[in-house]
Structure 1
């Protein structure tokens, strides 16, 4: 058991040393962008949505890029052999000759680090189990439905028929004999669930279908799944949860704007439909993409629809460009910390090596320097010069190994 605890502690220390700076950089950038968006709530919903989406996805992308840089660096180092100039310094190891005391147990910091790892994995497993349970429930629901292709609906408007064809997918529609908020789920074979009451109201039926088909054309279900999985891994970060909650709100507002950008859509009828949805229950709102997640969100959307005289133009291209810029720049800023942290640790190790025991008062230490060529010493010449200043009586021995 003690060995396992020490292994957890070593793993925690390795992960912390690798990820703390990228996480800090992501937090600073994301909080700054998020705060700017909070200050300017009138920014178009599609900008609000895509910016938050870019921030969330840049977190795993940045860390994956960092891991890739480590892997490529190690591969280049291994393949370059003696031709690569490199210096590696192992921190001094205190081997002073004092009587060894029996261990009084596992050090406190080792226990703390082990608990941190255990808590992290426990939280991630909890979120993943919850995700799997929702996915199983949706699969069971799908099997219990009697649905048909949307193209076979006689009351489908020409606009919705064209939009369904534009999705390039075999969209299915099912009606439930209960009052529910219209909902969509499924990526390759999407299903739209609607309440039976809409069958007798063709105009509202087509408005609900228009909204759900817009979700399908925008691939909202797939992006929602990716956000949930990102939240499961980074559950410990409060900003991730906040961005996810706001994503849901602005996803629906963005969808409203896209639907209302069509001249044939009545604002009054659309707002009336949303108003009717307020008391209706939500079906698996955690995993599926609903027409309305929360009643408070519905009120805000209705206010936006009724107060605006006309819908703002949909800035699709510029919003996607903004998404790409924020995503790439944030991920690169995190990935480039690899060089910064490596320099920091190199300096820390050299400082330890040269400053910890110049007088020899603390006992003997072991210093190991690996080099392939003499030119490598140029980078650390100032630190190596401090080693040369050590008095001979403070050096127990010097060993030189040649070759591999």
Structure 2
């Protein structure tokens, strides 16, 4: 039950979640590396572009979900329309995964459980930080002298800060910080009260944060980072945003023209060896000593920066945002019904024998009479293919005419002639309700995948007592030739003989004189078995000769049996 639950969870999340996440990763990774290593961008441009990269992850996933819910999602301009009507895949043999077997969908489900657990844990920590920050704010003494209040008001008016800001001089504060909220609180160390110039520069820095709504942006960033905490790039990107935020704020303070760069750099250095209280800094905008060197380097840099003007930065943000969002949507297979090369054919027009128009998509597609169960019951696994260990997917394309009759059958992807013919025979027996376009019956081209899977059990050979055993798709794997199987270190080579006495190993014809060498070339393990499966009517002398050649090999066992 646990494996079934993991498989169901993986199937449910692969399209709406993991494919958009993978697409975002492929698109955001090179941009993140470029922002990290370039020194030609203005700090504010680096800050906003980094925020945009992080925001593109939830926005892209949401866009995929919205497009999936659109009624005409299958005809979205982001995805080409299907060229033919594709029926659901049909499997013959057991269609469920054998109990206890592990598939990649189980891994996706397990990954989802792990990511969900980490995300919930990080969201819980974020909620606790919000509570702690609120409690700290309530306990702060925000009473200051009238002169300090006047200075804060003057700086707010000078910098264009619209929100009301509280100032708190605290003896417990080691570094300046801003506690965000509806009414932000700027917390500064008590020792700065005796140094008016340093206090003024500190207030400028913190008020720039408030003017730019960095406190609200940081809360949203932490929420997204907690939600996708299992993704390693998300955490790195959030740290990069924090560092870029401080550099952008430094640039804004110095651009005002009232703050000397040298004095401001010495102020930053003074707080480099101090750490704020973890409880207070949980959701605060505080100085980042770890990025001091980068901040001082950015202040001293004389290299011309790109995207310094608001118009250029706004254009870049819109272009990058649209590219990322549309890229995530376009790269995700979850937009509209999934279609694969196996289930769709070329979009070139197809015509029937009477040259009448054949529709690829119609308003009312043909419906199979008796449902898919009737088709499932019509598919028979050829015994000769079962004995030979043949399995795989056959794609049958056909046309349903105005009478509901199946015509123009052909195999667009085959496995073996025997399986191809079995799939065609099963589809040919079916009857459909004709497809209609504008209320009129039309010829409609359709596609049907038929999967042949061997039963769970043994490998399809005769056992030592001569009785038949079933064939296991879970325990055996076929190579590209289709006849070399291995189970528990034992290799099996199957040789087929048709009615005329001709030999086949895989798809390659083999002469009787070279049968021994052909089998020996396919054996790579110490323990090996060979099976000769001959068709009804095969010449007896040819059977005896083939048997003698196989028994001449140093094999663990040789089976000789007719194809039922």
Answer whether contact 1:171 1:192 (CA < 8 A) is retained. Answer: yes
| Residue 32 (structure 2) aligns with | 34
Q: Write out per-residue CA displacement over residues 292-324 of structure 1, whole angstroms, 9 at most, x where no aligned residue.
A: 12x231233234335659999953332233222
Tell me how far 1:107 sits from its aligned partner.
2.9
Q: Which of the numbers 183, 190, 193 marks the counterpart of 1:196?
A: 190
Tell me how far 1:237 sits from its aligned partner.
2.0
1:34-183 alignment, distance < 5 Å: 34-73=32-71, 87=85, 89-95=87-93, 105-109=99-103, 111-147=106-142, 153-154=148-149, 156=151, 160-163=155-158, 166-183=160-177
Q: Write out per-residue CA displacement over residues 215-237 of structure 1, whole angstroms, 9 at most, x where no aligned residue.
A: 11111111111111111222222
| Residue 386 (structure 1) aligns with | 411
Tell me how far 1:61 sits from its aligned partner.
0.6
| 1:219 maps onto 2:213 in alignment | yes
| Residue 82 (structure 1) aligns with | none
Q: Which of the numbers 296, 313, 316 marks the counterpart of 2:310?
A: 316
TM-score, normalised on structure 2? 0.57
Answer whether contact 1:147 1:172 (CA < 8 A) is retained. Answer: yes
Tell me how many residue pairs correspond in the alignment. 376
Q: 1 CA distance for matches of 2:321 and 2:50?
A: 10
1:227-376 alignment, distance < 5 Å: 227-283=221-277, 284-290=280-286, 292-293=287-288, 295-306=289-300, 314-338=308-332, 345-349=339-343, 360=382, 361=385
Q: 2 CA distance for matches of 1:150 and 1:131?
A: 34
The 3 A distance-change label for structure 1 pair 9 and 285 is farther
The 3 A distance-change label for structure 1 pair 127 and 205 is same
Answer whether contact 2:173 2:189 (CA < 8 A) is retained. Answer: yes
Answer whether contact 2:179 2:284 (CA < 8 A) is retained. Answer: yes
* Bigger RCO of structures 1 and 2 (CA < 8 A, at least 6 apart): 1
Q: 2 CA distance for matches of 1:260 and 1:314?
A: 14
Higher relative strand content? 2
Q: 2 CA distance for matches of 1:64 and 1:30?
A: 17
The 3 A distance-change label for structure 1 pair 311 and 58 is closer
The 3 A distance-change label for structure 1 pair 330 and 395 is same
- SS of equivalent residue, structure 1 residue 194: strand
Higher relative helix content? 1
The 3 A distance-change label for structure 1 pair 179 and 364 is closer
Q: 2 CA distance for matches of 1:122 and 1:135?
A: 20
The higher radius of gyration belongs to 2
Q: 2 CA distance for matches of 1:339 and 1:105?
A: 29
Answer whether contact 2:20 2:331 (CA < 8 A) is retained. Answer: yes
Answer whether contact 1:155 1:202 (CA < 8 A) is retained. Answer: no
- SS of equivalent residue, structure 2 residue 241: helix
Tell me how far 1:394 sits from its aligned partner.
3.5
The 3 A distance-change label for structure 1 pair 12 and 247 is same
Structure 1: runs of 5 or more not aligned: 78-84
Tell me how far 1:28 sits from its aligned partner.
2.4
The 3 A distance-change label for structure 1 pair 249 and 200 is same
Answer whether contact 1:92 1:366 (CA < 8 A) is retained. Answer: no
| Residue 80 (structure 1) aligns with | none
Q: 2 CA distance for matches of 1:120 and 1:250?
A: 27
| Residue 486 (structure 2) aligns with | none
| Residue 398 (structure 1) aligns with | 430
